[in-house]
Chain A
Amino acid sequence: MEPKPRMLVILDVVTVLLFLIAVGMVFFYAPLEAIMGQVQRVFYFHVANAWVGMLGFMVAAIAGIAYLRKNDRKWDIVGLAAIEISFVFFLTAIISGSIWARGSWGTWWTWDPRLTTAAICELVYAAYFMLRQGIEDPDRRARFGAVYAILSFISVPLTFISIRIFRTIHPVIFGGAAAAGGTFEMSPIMLQTFMFSLLTFSIIFIDLLWHRIRLGKLADETEALRLKTLQ
């Protein structure tokens, strides 16, 4: 069992630092938004979380394709790790979105495209886990996981489009004027904070992914050793 690689240690430190700075920026650097007040600060985390969630999904789909092509267990671990992390990030995105909705429109939930798609993604992830749970053979588990990750990743844009055409009250952030309420103009400082949040969460994702992949590899090694002792 190899010790934590140097790069990872550095990354851990960097991640924590970035996060602290991001939080600081969100609460102290960014201005207080006129209409919504403190609740608006959720926005910085909410979008970043959702972005990372989608990123994870994409990584899982690509890892799925890679696994099917190369048949290397490593890609299965990557895929599983990406979806596990995305699951959590989407969850926080939904919760923060809910808080936002409460602050903007007074309801805890809105059936707007992005939030609904996020909820559907969560269900897809849950289905992914259930699928893996029901398979004994590790190769088949990896193969089916890969296939499902690919299929679901393709369906998500279509889902989003269909809901979008269906209805929308989600704020159109970039570009100012919007039909429904709950939107605001982004000042340069806000933009900076937003971008920084996005960056921070991307780094958090990579950090967590790396850790989780390591965990998966260690689990494999342990299992291999266990099987050796049995024979």
Chain B
Amino acid sequence: MSMITVRKLVKRFGLKTVLRGMDFSVEPGEFVALLGPNGAGKTTFLRILSSLSRPSIGHVSIAGYSLPNQAASVRRRLGVVSHLPLLYGDLTAEENLRFYARMYNVALAEKRISDVLEMVGLASRRRDLVRTFSRGMQQRLAIGRAVLHDPEVMLFDEPHTGLDQDACLMLDTVLQEVAARGRTVVMTSHDLARVADLASRFDVLSRGVITASVQRSQIEPNDLLAFYRQSINET
């Protein structure tokens, strides 16, 4: 059974159609990089997958539960990182995690929080206000928040946005660890270089549909750019 199944997904905003009958599926443990130009619908698609937005038409299911009807069951199994950190500036790092631990009813919360802070390299800053964190640190904490309840599926929406080189490298380390746990990951990006080393599969979303998909094993890193360019030109 696929972990994520999307069939004939259409999303309209008023009279404008953003997603036009998308088909998409992800097997457990895959790390899919969803590429595409700005405005292709990547963020919209991710919002639908994360249950924040409803499909206009079509079928979406994650871990066997369908959206939007079984959204609560889906949410339990999802960890989402968007380009906004979803953190409260006036609380400390550990207070933020504690809050989310309660919202997700995480067992053995204190230990889990410590482990997560350790994993994202913020254990020494646990008592500091998030307001004082750099963007890179906030993103790392955001990932911590997302893995807190140990979700099976993780969704990342352009997580490298706004990060400098060092921060990106740190983020990649965390991402690799996250992926190594056997989680299913979908990450959107418009920066190929970022995802080239992380993903096991590359899909291209252009003008509201998936126009191409290729396994990492089937393509050379050097050819990735050509593959991408070609996929967004053919519609």
A217 to B149, CA, bound (A): 47
A137 to B53, CA, bound (A): 13
CB distance from A225 to the nearest CB of B (A): 9
Residue pair B13, A220 in contact (C-beta under 8 Å): no
User: B181 at interface (Cβ–Cβ under 8 A)?
Assistant: no
User: A224 at interface (Cβ–Cβ under 8 A)?
Assistant: yes
Residue numbers in A under 8 Å from B13 (CB-CB): 137-139
A223 to B15, CA, bound (A): 7
A138 to B14, CA, bound (A): 5
CB distance from A130 to the nearest CB of B (A): 20
Interface size on A, residues (CB 8 A): 8
Q: Nearest residue in B to A230 (C-beta to C-beta)?
A: B16
Q: Nearest residue in B to A142 (C-beta to C-beta)?
A: B14
Within 8 A of A (CB), among B4-25: 13-16
Within 8 A of B (CB), among A180-231: 220, 223-224, 227
A223 to B17, CA, bound (A): 13
A43 to B15, CA, bound (A): 45
Interface size on B, residues (CB 8 A): 4
Residue numbers in A under 8 Å from B14 (CB-CB): 73, 137-139
Residue numbers in B under 8 Å from A138 (CB-CB): 13-15
Dominant SS at the A interface?
A: helix
A138 to B16, CA, bound (A): 10
A220 to B14, CA, bound (A): 9
A137 to B16, CA, bound (A): 10
Within 8 A of A (CB), among B40-80: none
Q: Nearest residue in B to A222 (C-beta to C-beta)?
A: B15
CB distance from A49 to the nearest CB of B (A): 34
CB distance from A141 to the nearest CB of B (A): 8
A4 to B2, CA, bound (A): 52
A124 to B26, CA, bound (A): 49
Residue numbers in A under 8 Å from B16 (CB-CB): 227
A138 to B15, CA, bound (A): 8
A83 to B131, CA, bound (A): 45
Residue numbers in B under 8 Å from A227 (CB-CB): 15-16
A21 to B16, CA, bound (A): 47
CB distance from B43 to the nearest CB of A (A): 14
A137 to B14, CA, bound (A): 7
A139 to B11, CA, bound (A): 12
Residue numbers in B under 8 Å from A224 (CB-CB): 15
Residue numbers in B under 8 Å from A73 (CB-CB): 14
Q: Nearest residue in B to A73 (C-beta to C-beta)?
A: B14
CB distance from A123 to the nearest CB of B (A): 28
What residues of chain A have their CB less than 8 Å away from a CB belonging to chain B? 73, 137-139, 220, 223-224, 227
Shortest 3 CB-CB contacts between residues of A and residues of B:
A138-B14, A224-B15, A223-B15
Q: Assuming A139-B14, A224-B15, A227-B16, what are 9 further A-B pairs, CB within 8 angstroms? A: A73-B14, A137-B13, A137-B14, A138-B13, A138-B15, A139-B13, A220-B15, A223-B15, A227-B15
A-B contact pairs, 5 of them (CB 8 A): A73-B14, A138-B14, A220-B15, A223-B15, A227-B16
